[in-house]
Amino acid sequence: MKSRSAAKARHTPRGMTARPATFADRCRRQFRPLSTAAVVVAVLAGSSNAPAAEPELVALADVAPTIRQDIRYATRRNFMAQVLPGYRAGKCLLRPEVANALRRAQAWLAKSDPPRFGLKVFDCYRPMRAVRAMVRWTHSNGGSEAPFHYPAHKRSRLVALGYISDRSSHARGFAVDLTLVAIASGEDAAKSATDTDDVKPAQTCRERGGEPTDPSEVDMGTTFDCFDVASATRSGDITDLQHKNRAALVSVMSRFGFRNYAREWWHFTYIGRVADGVLDVVIE
C-alpha cells in the first residue's frame, strides 16, 4: 500500500497542470531521487515537436507483487535469441494507471472461488532502443537460424505482417504481453497445465501451448511471440480448450480496460487514457 500511495502522489493527472510542462520542469522531474516504486525517466522525443511524455513509470512488482514476471527480452529466450538493448534487468515497468489496472485484474481473479488463474507478464514497457533493434533485426540476414518463433514467414515480412512495430505501444508504457497461469487445482486449469507438460522438443511455436519450462501456464495453443496465424486470438487452428483459455484472458483484461490485439492473443493495450509519447530509458 505504501508503494501504491507513493506512486499515486507523484502522479499528476493530465489536465491539472496550469501550463504546459517546460524543459526545466522535465529536468526537475528527471533529477528527483529514484525509488523502487517509481522510475523517473528521460523523455525520448525524437524531435522537439513531440508531445510531452508522462515522465514516470512504476515497477509492477511494487504495485502488484503477486503477478508473475518472465521478461523475455531481458533473456535470450525470445525470437531474437539475444538480450535486447535497454533490458539490463527483467523488470516490468508500466505507466501508473496501467500497473494499477493490472493489480485490479489480478485481485479480481483471486476472488473467484476457488481461485484458478493468475497473471504472468512477458513484456511491459519496452525501451525505444529495443523497438528499433527489433526492426533492424527484421532487415538482417537470417543465416542458418531455425525460426521457432515464425515458422511460416520470412523475418523480413514480420513488420508488414503486423507482428513487429516501429511505433509500439510498449514504448509508451501502455501495453503488456501476458498469459494466465493456473494457481489452483480446478479441473480445467489442471488439464491446461498438463497439456503444456510435453517433454518432447517442439519444432515450432505452434507446437507448444506455453513456455515448456513453466507448466503452470495455461494452454493458449502457441507460445508467446509466436508470429503465426495460429496466434490470432480467434484462430480456427486451435482447440476448444485453447479458445476457452484465450477467451478467459481477453475477458478479464477487457473488464479492466485493456484491448486485445487480434493477431496476438498475448498483447493488450490499455485504453483508459491517450498515449503521450515514446520513452527510452534503460530498465535496470
Q: What are the residues binding Zn ion (CB under 5 A)?
A: 177, 267
Q: Sign of torsion, CA 234 244 64 86? A: negative
Q: Hey, what's the cell of 230?
A: 495460429
Closest to 177 (Cα-Cα) out of 230, 253, 112, 277: 253
CA angle 106–216–228, rounded 5-degree value: 90
Complex with Zn ion: residue 195 or 225, whichever CB lies closer: 225
Q: Hey, what's the cell of 191?
A: 488439464
Report the nearest approach of Zn ion to the CB of residue 48 (Å).
Answer: 29
Complex with Zn ion: residue 117 or 265, whichever CB lies closer: 265
Q: Which residue is nearest to Zn ion (CB)?
A: 267
Complex with Zn ion: residue 40 or 135, whichever CB lies closer: 135
Report the nearest approach of Zn ion to the CB of residue 247 (Å).
Answer: 19
Complex with Zn ion: residue 177 or 280, whichever CB lies closer: 177
Across-strand partners of 58?
38, 94
C-alpha span between 156 and 137 (Å, rounded):
8
C-alpha span between 128 and 122 (Å, rounded):
17
Complex with Zn ion: residue 106 or 169, whichever CB lies closer: 169
Report the nearest approach of Zn ion to the CB of residue 127 (Å).
Answer: 14
C-alpha span between 226 and 243 (Å, rounded):
16
Report the nearest approach of Zn ion to the CB of residue 267 (Å).
Answer: 4
Report the nearest approach of Zn ion to the CB of residue 5 (Å).
Answer: 29
